[in-house]
Chains A and B, each alone.
Chain A
Amino acid sequence: MAEEKKGRAVATSTAAKIPKFVRGNLSATLKAKEEGKKVAAAFIADGQDEIMRAMDIVPAWGESFSGVCAAKRDAEKYLQKAESDNFSRSLCTYATCNIGFDMMREELGGATPEGAPWGGMGRPDMMLGNGQLLCDPRFKWPQATQHYQQDVPVFVTNMYYPPWDPNADHHEQEAIYVKYATEELRETVKFCEKITGKKMDWDRLAATVELSDKTWDLFIDTYELRKHIPTPMDTGDAMNTMVPLTFNLGTQEAYDFYVDLNAELKQKIADGVGVANPEKYRIIWAAGLPSWFALGDFQYFNGKGVVFPVEVTYRGCEKIERLDLPKTNDPLEHIAWRWVRYWTHWYDAAKKRPGSTPKVERIIEYIEDYKCDGAVFHSAFSCRSWHAGIMQQAATLKKVYKDIPILIMEGDIVDISSYNEADTHNRIDAFIETLAAYKKRQG
């Protein structure tokens, strides 16, 4: 008998709109051809969102589709398909799940494989990769996919930012990186113009970027409402409410979503409604992508009075004012500055604390601001780029800040074979007991 899935009792009602966003993004890729639009296989958080939106290019988010497959616990067939062509299980499972799906679709002559979660994703007309300090599959994945879709052109850019060096003055380096990133974005525009046969409407791009900036500000204003005790929203929700910012940036729908979420959180605070009652411990989700097939673990925490008022993951923006961006009339240069400063604006704070790093400094700021008692890190084995330094971050946090309780969870983003619910819950229980002892020691 199929396991009955319970709804999330503590979820915000605004988060219930998220499936519509995700399904809408997927179906847009399937309807694009009849609407005369081009589809681009694309990656999140690389500065290309507004270019695509301003040119009516429909993004096909491979990471999102793989996440959906994982959440539906229906990724195995695609992982096995990729494995059958010698893609190792230890590669990024966002990539291998998506490549497996693409392989099946190509074998069907471009038709969507039967039983694809939420209707599947349409065949792209182009692939926009982006090698960056964040994630190397972003240039290898499109290249690997091109083996199966040889007629689909690939364009890979690079969006770099000054690497962290406590002895270097990153302020001197930023302009060089911005210049490079701006040129990369300009080449992306030229590539998109060539594929779509349309010229970029620069005024429309500027308006789209302006809307994105407003969305960044509103997102942070909204998430900062979670500082309230008891917190009105948990990371379990945030792993859903990140969708408009992450996959629909530069659209009015994304902005409007956060208007609604903001209003709901304010109402919850006014009504004294929290995620957990009583709220015993406040934890930061300090690093790592979640196991999409095990989002119910957040409820497991919540059921024991543990809440996550803040997370580093998918908080992919900052208040624009805080980034202190130089004025420019070039929307691409603005995107580039926003991208570079999003990373480097933690550098000055990190320099002030000997032995710290920007990532750790960010965690410390959130722990202080959101009054957290401990930290959870999730180490997803197949995502090396994001997760390789997690143990070091946890050790540095303890060394330069304080010896707060830390739980390192181990799993994956898509591959459920890495997951054991009983062991995971056992670790969570032990962590909660450690938190209790820690709080008692703190008085």
Chain B
Amino acid sequence: MDYFAGVDIGSTMTKVVIVSDRIEVSLIGPTGPEHRKLANRVMEEALDKARLTFEDLTYIVATGYGRINVPFADRQITEITCHAKGLHSLLPSVKTVVDIGGQDSKGIKIVNGKVMNFVMNDKCAAGTGRFLEIIADSLGVPLEKIGEISLTAEKIAAVSSTCTVFAEQEIISRLASGEPIANLLAGIHDAVATRVSSLVKKLNVEADIAVTGGGAKNIGLVRALESKFGRALLVPPEPLITGALGAALMGKDIFAKYMAEGQKPTRSVNKLEEATFFE
């Protein structure tokens, strides 16, 4: 049996998926400043969980923001391509992906599992998970609760500032003037959804549309996005791993291509060695 691993080093989370003819294991851990060390640790845990050794892996693809810092990977591919690949394997009807990550958001247009076009917001925290983290912190609400709380709002308290810093100030002053937290959270989700949907709409959006990344775990944000796109959005069972899954599947495709050409690819690194960012 051949096993293929995908490692997605995002700005806040590191994800590993190992596939054979099915998904063997998926694992999520936090990303820290020492990407390499964390990548090793999450990979070790994933291998343990799958009862495999590093030598059992046939090909490894790294993706995500920190993909260059995965010394044991055989190939680096961007998260745009890997998200498209991973999502297509889970939800083949999807033609547009909205990915809301920790420090960027992006839209991807897919044709037959391949990227046709993409847009990214990596210039501004507004429209990213970081924005929601800061607001949740200001309101003293756990991040994982803000989506559900926002759905209990009586009305959407419009947040006019699009800058994270000024939005935080606006929220604090609105809170002081007695605006309920739920209404403010609904306003914040509406603001993020407006920003992200206007970015993604540059792609000439086609249905089905799916949401991935940490933002997809926030039901309040998903509902707000649905209102902007005017339709129900699909969310994969584990929206954080689509990039890592896509990376593993890309590795499988690369391996198959090599084999079809009568070549067996050799692994670039055969041992998971301890490495740090500071060496």
Give the B-binding residues of A (Cβ under 8 A).
Answer: 391, 395, 398, 403, 405-406, 408, 410, 418, 420, 422-423, 426-427, 429-430, 433-434, 437-438, 440-441
Among A391, A420, A434, max chain B CB count under 10 A is at A434
A437 and B114 contacting across the interface, CB-CB below 8 Å: yes
B115 an interface residue at 8 Å Cβ cutoff?
yes
CA separation between A434 and B123, bound complex, in Å?
A: 21
Query: Chain A residues with Cβ under 8 A from B120's Cβ?
Result: 423, 426-427, 430
B145 an interface residue at 8 Å Cβ cutoff?
no
5 contacts between A and B (CB under 8 A): A403-B117, A405-B116, A434-B115, A437-B114, A437-B115
CA separation between A440 and B112, bound complex, in Å?
A: 12
CA separation between A440 and B111, bound complex, in Å?
A: 12
CA separation between A434 and B118, bound complex, in Å?
A: 9
Query: Chain A residues with Cβ under 8 A from B202's Cβ?
Result: 391, 395
Contact of B78 among A405, A418, A420, A429 (CB under 8 A): A429
B122 an interface residue at 8 Å Cβ cutoff?
yes
Interface residues of B in 195-222 (CB under 8 A from A): 202, 204
CA separation between A426 and B204, bound complex, in Å?
A: 23
* Whole-angstrom distance between the Cβ of A154 and the nearest chain B Cβ: 36
CA separation between A176 and B161, bound complex, in Å?
A: 48
B117 and A405 contacting across the interface, CB-CB below 8 Å: yes
The list of the 3 closest CB pairs from A to B, nearest first, reads A430-B80, A437-B114, A430-B78
* Whole-angstrom distance between the Cβ of B254 and the nearest chain A Cβ: 12
B65 an interface residue at 8 Å Cβ cutoff?
yes
A430 and B118 contacting across the interface, CB-CB below 8 Å: yes
CA separation between A383 and B117, bound complex, in Å?
A: 26
Contact (A410, B65) CB under 8 Å given A430-B115, A434-B116, A441-B111: no
CA separation between A420 and B80, bound complex, in Å?
A: 18
Query: Chain B residues with Cβ under 8 A from A440's Cβ?
Result: 114
* Whole-angstrom distance between the Cβ of A30 and the nearest chain B Cβ: 39
B77 an interface residue at 8 Å Cβ cutoff?
yes
Among residues of B, the one whose C-beta sits closest to the C-beta of A398 is: B204
Among residues of B, the one whose C-beta sits closest to the C-beta of A424 is: B122
Among A395, A405, A406, A427, max chain B CB count under 10 A is at A427
B150 an interface residue at 8 Å Cβ cutoff?
no
Query: Chain B residues with Cβ under 8 A from A438's Cβ?
Result: 116
Query: Chain A residues with Cβ under 8 A from B65's Cβ?
Result: 422, 426
Contact (A430, B116) CB under 8 Å given A420-B122, A423-B122: no
Among residues of B, the one whose C-beta sits closest to the C-beta of A429 is: B78
* Whole-angstrom distance between the Cβ of B80 and the nearest chain A Cβ: 4
Give the A-binding residues of B (Cβ under 8 A).
Answer: 65, 77-81, 104, 111, 114-120, 122-123, 202, 204
CA separation between A418 and B111, bound complex, in Å?
A: 32
Among residues of B, the one whose C-beta sits closest to the C-beta of A428 is: B78
Contact (A433, B122) CB under 8 Å given A403-B116, A426-B65: no
Among residues of B, the one whose C-beta sits closest to the C-beta of A420 is: B122
Contact (A433, B115) CB under 8 Å given A391-B202, A426-B78: yes
Contact (A430, B122) CB under 8 Å given A406-B117, A441-B114: no
B77 and A433 contacting across the interface, CB-CB below 8 Å: yes
Query: Chain A residues with Cβ under 8 A from B78's Cβ?
Result: 426, 429-430, 433
CA separation between A440 and B117, bound complex, in Å?
A: 14
CA separation between A434 and B116, bound complex, in Å?
A: 6
CA separation between A408 and B106, bound complex, in Å?
A: 13
Query: Chain A residues with Cβ under 8 A from B123's Cβ?
Result: 410, 418, 420, 423
CA separation between A408 and B111, bound complex, in Å?
A: 20
Among residues of B, the one whose C-beta sits closest to the C-beta of A431 is: B118
Known: A391-B202, A410-B123, A423-B120. 4 other contacts (CB 8 A): A426-B120, A433-B78, A434-B117, A434-B118
* Whole-angstrom distance between the Cβ of B9 and the nearest chain A Cβ: 12
* Whole-angstrom distance between the Cβ of B19 and the nearest chain A Cβ: 20
Query: Chain A residues with Cβ under 8 A from B117's Cβ?
Result: 403, 405-406, 434
Query: Chain B residues with Cβ under 8 A from A423's Cβ?
Result: 104, 120, 122-123
Query: Chain A residues with Cβ under 8 A from B80's Cβ?
Result: 430, 433-434
CA separation between A3 and B2, bound complex, in Å?
A: 44
Among residues of B, the one whose C-beta sits closest to the C-beta of A404 is: B117
Query: Chain B residues with Cβ under 8 A from A420's Cβ?
Result: 122-123
CA separation between A433 and B115, bound complex, in Å?
A: 8
Query: Chain A residues with Cβ under 8 A from B116's Cβ?
Result: 403, 405, 434, 437-438
B114 and A430 contacting across the interface, CB-CB below 8 Å: no
Query: Chain A residues with Cβ under 8 A from B118's Cβ?
Result: 430, 434
Query: Chain A residues with Cβ under 8 A from B81's Cβ?
Result: 430, 433-434, 437
* Whole-angstrom distance between the Cβ of A335 and the nearest chain B Cβ: 40
CA separation between A313 and B253, bound complex, in Å?
A: 39
* Whole-angstrom distance between the Cβ of A91 and the nearest chain B Cβ: 19
* Whole-angstrom distance between the Cβ of A125 and the nearest chain B Cβ: 42
